[in-house]
Amino acid sequence: MKKIAVFTSGGDSPGMNACIRSVVRTGIFHGLEVYGIYHGYEGMIEGDIKRMYSHSVSNIVQRGGTILKSARSTEFRTPEGRKKAYDNLKALGIEGLVAIGGDGTFTGAKVFYEEYGIPTVGCPGTIDNDIYGTDYTIGFDTAVNTALEAIDKIRDTAAAHDRIFFVEVMGRDAGFIAVESGIGGGAEFVMVPETETKIDQVVKSLKNLRKTKSSSIIVVAEGHSLGSAEEIMKLVKEQIKDPSKEFKVTTLGHIQRGGKPTARDRVLASRCGMAAVEGLLQGKTNCMAGVMKMEVVYTPFADCIGKPKPLIADHIKLIDILSI
Ligand code: F6P
C-alpha cells in the first residue's frame, strides 16, 4: 500500500482534527502518500481530494470542527454516486481509506468496501458515543464538558429564582451525553431514550424534591420518546398545577459540537488515527479502530453499526442515589 486517503463525514465532533493529524503523520511516518478528501463522501464523488503533508496538519490538534469539512451525502447512497467516488479514487491510485465519523459514515464505508474492495478502517468520530466497539467516541468527552459547563451556569440562576429547568442535550437516539452531564452537573432527574420514563415519575420526583430543594434541573436527551424538553416541560407543568412554580427550558444544541477538544478526546483521536493507518498496513479492513479498556481494538463495521451500546448501569443507579 502506497497511497491512502482520509475523510470526515456526518456530524463533526471535537477531536476530528487531532485524528486527521494522526492519520496524516502516521501515514507519512510509514512512507505512505496521504490524501485528504474534502466534505466527506460528497468530496469523494466530486473529486475534491488533495495531497496532505506533515505541515498540512500543523496547528490543528487543539481546534474543534474538521479542516477536511464534513457533510451528509445523499448521492453516496446511490450506486451511481459510489461508482463516481470509486473512479476518482482509482484515478489517484488510492489503495486505502480512513473514514472518521459515526454510524452513517460506517454504513457507507461498509457498502463501498463490499462493492469496490478498497480497504477501509474507521475511527469513531461523533459526540453521541453511540458506536459499539469503543468505550468512548471522539468528541464525546468535549461535548459532555460543554453541556456540564452550561448546566453549572443554569444551576446558579435556577437556584437564585427557585426555578425548575429542563435542559435538552444532544445525542440523537442515545442518552450518553445526558447521563454523564447529568451525573457531573448533579441533575435531579435525567431522561434518556434507552429507558422508559413516565411523566408521573418526573412529577412525583419533583414533588418529593420540593420538600428539600427549591430548584431542580432535569436533563432531557433529545431523542426521548415523550418529545423535546419543551414538550416534556409542558406535560409536567400541567400536572404539577402550582402557579407559584416557574418552569424554564434551555436547549443546548450545536454548541455541544464545537470548541477545543479535551485532552481525553485529543489522545483518543490520536490513538485511533494511528491504529487505523497501522491496521490498514496490517491488512485490516471493513472495521473500526476503537479503544476498549485502554487497548486498541478493531471491530467489524457490521458490529459497530448493528450492535447496541447500552448505557452503563451504574451510571443510572448513581443518578437515582445522588438526587435524593
Ligand atoms: O450525531 C451528532 C449530532 O450532533 C446528534 O447529537 C444530533 O442529533 C445531530 O447530530 C444533529 O445533526 P445536524 O447537525 O445535522 O442537525
Distance CA(263)–CA(282), nearest Å, equals: 28
pLDDT of 207 > 90? The answer is no
Ligand 1: atom nearest CA of 171 is: 6
Q: Best substitution site from 257, 305, 309 to test ligand 1's pocket, by max atoms within 8 Å of Cβ?
A: 257
Q: Is residue 322 part of a domain?
A: no
72 and 119: one domain?
yes
| Burial 51-64, CB ≥16 within 10 A → b, else e | ebeeebbeebbebb
Report the distance separating Cα 283 and Cα 51, nearest Å.
Answer: 23
Cell numbers for 67: 479542516
- Shared-domain flag, residues 290 and 252: no
* pTM score, whole prediction: 0.97
At 96, the amino acid letter reads G
Does the pLDDT at position 173 exceed 80?
yes
Burial 103-133 (b: 16+ CB within 10 A, else e): bbbbbbbbebbeeeebbbbbbbbbbbbbbbb
d(CA 78, CA 57): 32
Quote the pLDDT of residue 195.
Answer: 92
Question: What would the pLDDT profile of 73-128 be if each residue is shown by its tens digit?
Answer: 999 999 999 999 999 999 999 999 999 999 999 999 999 999 999 999 999 999 99
| Same domain, residue pair 127 and 180 | no
**Element containing residue 36 per DSSP (H, E):** strand 33-37
Provide the CATH number for the domain around residue 170: 3.40.50.460
184 and 151 in a single domain? The answer is yes
CA–CA distance, 108 with 254 (Å, rounded to integer): 24
Q: Ligand 1 centre from 309 Cα, in Å?
A: 18
Residue 20 lies in a domain: yes
Whether 9 is in the pocket of ligand 1, judged by its Cβ within 6 Å, is no
**Same domain flag for 55 and 81:** yes
Contact 122, 100 (CB under 8 A): yes
pLDDT value of position 243: 87
Q: Considering its fold, how many domains does the chain have in total? A: 2
Helix (H) or strand (E) holding 150: helix 140-161
**Backbone dihedral angles phi then psi of residue 34, each to the nearest 5 degrees:** -115, 135
Same domain (yes/no): 40, 84: yes
Strands (E), 247-320: 247-251, 287-292, 295-300
CATH of the domain at 76: 3.40.50.450
Query: Do 134 and 44 lie in a common domain?
Result: yes
pLDDT in tens, 27-46: 999 999 999 999 999 999 99
Q: Is 130 one of the catalytic residues?
A: no
d(CA 237, CA 150): 23
The residue segments making up the domain with residue 266 are 3-139+261-306
pLDDT band of residue 54 (cuts 50, 70, 90) is very high
Q: What is the mean pLDDT of the chain?
A: 96
Any domain includes 81: yes
In a domain, 203, yes or no: yes
Ligand 1 center from residue 91 Cα (angstroms): 33
Q: Is residue 57 pLDDT above 80, yes or no? A: yes
User: Would you say residue 312 lies in a domain?
Assistant: no
Residues 104, 126 contacting (CB under 8 angstroms): no
292 in Cβ contact with 134 (< 8 Å): yes
Cβ burial, residue 160 (10 Å; 0-12/13-18/19+): exposed
Co-location of 160 and 53 in the same domain: no
Residues 133 and 275 reside in one and the same domain = yes
pLDDT on residue 320: 82
> How many alpha carbons fall within 13 Å on the CB side of residue 312?
13
Q: Is the residue at 319 inside a domain?
A: no
Domain-located, residue 323: no
- Write down the number of H helices and E strands in the chain: 11, 11
128 CB near ligand 1 (under 6 Å)? yes
Q: Measured between alpha carbons, how far apart are the two ends of the chain, in Å?
A: 58
Considering the domain boundaries, does residue 78 fall inside one?
A: yes
Which of 12, 87, 103, 128 is the catalytic position? 128
Cell numbers for 47: 473529486
> Could you tell me whether strands 120-124 and 96-101 are parallel, antiparallel, or unpaired per DSSP bridges?
parallel
Sign of the C-alpha dihedral computed for residues 78, 82, 88 and 91 taken in this order = negative
